[in-house]
Amino acid sequence: MSPRPTPPEVDRVAASRAAIAARRARAAVKNAVATRTRTATDVAETAWTEPESPEATLRVRELLTSVPTLGPTRAARVMAQLGIAESKRVGGLGVRQRGKLRSYLMRREGGVEPRRLVVLAGPTAVGKGTVSAYIRENYPDILLSVSATTRAPRPGEVEGVHYYFVSDAEFDRMIAEQELLEWATVHNSYRYGTPRPPIDSALAEGKRVLLEIDLQGARLVREAMPEAVLVFLLPPTWDELVRRLIGRGTESGPEQTRRLETAKVELAAQDEFDYKVVNREVAQAAQEVVDLTLVPAASR
């Protein structure tokens, strides 16, 4: 009989058993991709939602070379194109690299293709701002465009996060220099516009972009970029819309009445949109909007 192992040896034995188990688990993941039991997209998503999983410790190179028909030379070229270093593990990728890898894998595996540009519009107080804020916080790989506006910041609003607050002269300059994808005077008062350069670069990187703008803006984007997908956010009922507008308490009584008149006209335009999402519960509505940024290949 061999002598009982001393404590440091026990540690070493346990560590090497754990290492073997981890290697086996990674090999099983690679095998599942190679035999088409799982898609590489699914493996990557697991890695990003479960940081302790074997998927997360798999190297990107290993994941790519497990994809049937993707050899090591091609995998290396893809990694260089995506700007991912040779030794990176799937779980160790930053937000940008995740977005790029996800788009690449989705295109390659023909599962889903990102819809690049999604426009969210809807009547006043339906919850566009609330749903967009939820998406900004919970889906960091979707770029939420930050508009320029001539209105003053409200308490709590941060320059460059909620809006770029600009003077009338600066807004005129942005229009003259064609820096805006679209712009409109909203609620008969201030001007709002979508700065074009951040959108162009995000789209060039293969990122999904969400614009939260008013109805006039949505129509202008459709003209400028017919490939954009237009989503209309609806209240569960008219009474609930009125409750939300009054409950928010940011407008005077006459302004509320005026906005509700506009809301009626805007609701009548809902059929111009590609999709409608009812904002009953914020997280659910946000998920539905995010789902609309991906389209199954079969329906393209």
Ligand X SMILES: Nc1nc2c(ncn2[C@@H]2O[C@H](COP(=O)(O)OP(=O)(O)O)[C@@H](O)[C@H]2O)c(=O)[nH]1
124 is in an annotated binding site: yes
Q: Which is nearer to ligand ADP, 40 or 245 (CB)?
A: 245
Show the binding pattern over residues 241-260: x = contacts ligand X (CB under 6 A), - = does not: ---------x----------
Show the binding pattern over residues 127-146: x = contacts ligand ADP (CB under 6 A), - = does not: xxxx----------------
Residues 76 and 61 sit within 8 Å (Cβ to Cβ) = yes
- Interface with ligand ADP in residues 249-268 (CB under 6 A): none
126 is in an annotated binding site: yes
Going edge to edge, which strands form the sheet with 147-149?
163-165, 147-149, 190-195, 180-186
Residues 146 and 166 sit within 8 Å (Cβ to Cβ) = no
Residues 111 and 39 sit within 8 Å (Cβ to Cβ) = yes
Does residue 116 belong to the site contacting ligand X (CB under 6 A)?
A: no
Does residue 279 belong to the site contacting ligand ADP (CB under 6 A)?
A: yes
Applying CB under 6 A, among 212, 228, 256, 293 the residue interacting with ligand X is 212
**Ranges assigned E (strand) in 163-216:** 163-165, 180-186, 190-195, 208-212
Applying CB under 6 A, among 5, 71, 72, 129 the residue interacting with ligand X is 129
Contact stretch for ligand X (CB under 6 A) within 1-9, 12-20, 36-44, 124-132: 124-132
Residues 29 and 55 sit within 8 Å (Cβ to Cβ) = yes
Contact stretch for ligand X (CB under 6 A) within 100-108, 133-141, 207-215, 281-289: 207-215
Alpha-helical (H) ranges within the chain are 7-34, 40-49, 54-57, 60-66, 72-82, 95-109, 128-138, 168-176, 196-204, 215-224, 238-248, 253-267, 282-291
User: Which phi and psi angles does 141 have, rounded to 5°?
Assistant: -85, 5
Does residue 216 belong to the site contacting ligand X (CB under 6 A)?
A: yes
Residues that bind ligand X (CB under 6 A): 124, 128-129, 147, 151, 182-184, 186, 192-194, 212-214, 216-217, 250
Q: Residue positions in the annotated binding site for ATP?
A: 122-129
